[in-house]
Amino acid sequence: MKKYRVYQVDAFTKTKLAGNPAGVVTNAEGLTEKQMQKIARELNNSETAFILPPTKNQADIKIRFFTPTTEVPICGHATIGANFVRAIENNLNSQTIIQETKAGNLPITISKNNATYQITMNQGDISVTEPLNLTTQNRILNALGLTPDQRNQKFPMAIASTGAAKVMIAVNNTKILDNLQPNLEALKAITPDINCNGYYVFVVTPDEKNLIHGRMFSPASGINEDPVTGNANGPLGAYLVKYNLVKTSGDLLEFSIIQGEKIKRSGTMLVRVFLNHGQPVKIQIVGEAVIAFKTEIYL
């Protein structure tokens, strides 16, 4: 039997029991895929990250991500949490590493600030689709319990991805956002038809500190509502630029988001979109984290 170090980490916050919780196993070498899935189910966070030795020469670490029901290629908040814990365990200095994932090799910057760390994650390849057809849009609106006049018509309903795809759905105000009561089974039924398992509903509030307020639903992945989602807000940045929905100056768009308010797990992150000739070419998300608790498991 081997002793595995297991953490509960709250990402995109500096306050325990806020933000987005992730499980992290920092010494996962030796675990089978079946065991990883069982640990993720036992911890019952939206994702659990398993830190492994790299299998590609250019990578420094490998991370696999599991929801309670399935493996996913990448996860933003669990990436922030896993690299935060690894930095704490090893008392790392500021540095950039390469993280191997099933969404590709991604640079991660670890910035040490006194006794804590800020983690910057470069996300994967950018993809933003054309607007969904009207039939699909109406199915999604019905599943979310939204009427057409509650949707912000200036924002196309489209799918954006930086490694994990999400449908982008803008609504008119935060009251509509807060009152959402989606039909999760209906959302789950739409997922295979659009090859996308997440639905990010958001409000743009340009006069506030945080440009975006959002809620993310992914019932097909076993996540009814995710508190703070890197793999929604990173793609959102690409989507906003691609459709020319916010003002940009120069070669960088930078904005803050807040998410998780409705479910009492508020967290924030910074999103950076790097531009080339007005098009998004690289996405970064920046966040902090805090360890809620640590335990050990023998398997």
* Catalytic residue annotation: 47
Average pLDDT estimate for 218-237: 94
Task: Find the DSSP H helices in 153-242.
Answer: 174-178, 184-194, 230-242
Bridge partners (DSSP) listed for residue 202: 170, 214
Residues 94-116: tens digit of each pLDDT: 999 999 999 999 999 999 998 89
How far is residue 80 from each of residues 19, 47, 69, 250, measured CA to CA in Å?
12, 12, 21, 28
* Number of neighbouring beta carbons within 10 Å of residue 111: 16
Residues 113-130: tens digit of each pLDDT: 988 999 999 999 999 999
The sign of the CA dihedral 112, 102, 291, 92 is negative
Spatial distance between the Cα atoms of 118 and 247, rounded to a whole number of angstroms: 27
Mean model confidence pLDDT for the chain: 96
Spatial distance between the Cα atoms of 239 and 200, rounded to a whole number of angstroms: 12
Q: Is the pLDDT of residue 134 over 90?
A: yes
Spatial distance between the Cα atoms of 120 and 111, rounded to a whole number of angstroms: 8
Closest of 229, 282, 238, 218 to residue 127, by C-alpha: 238
Residues 32-91: tens digit of each pLDDT: 999 999 999 999 999 999 999 999 989 999 999 999 989 999 999 999 999 999 999 999
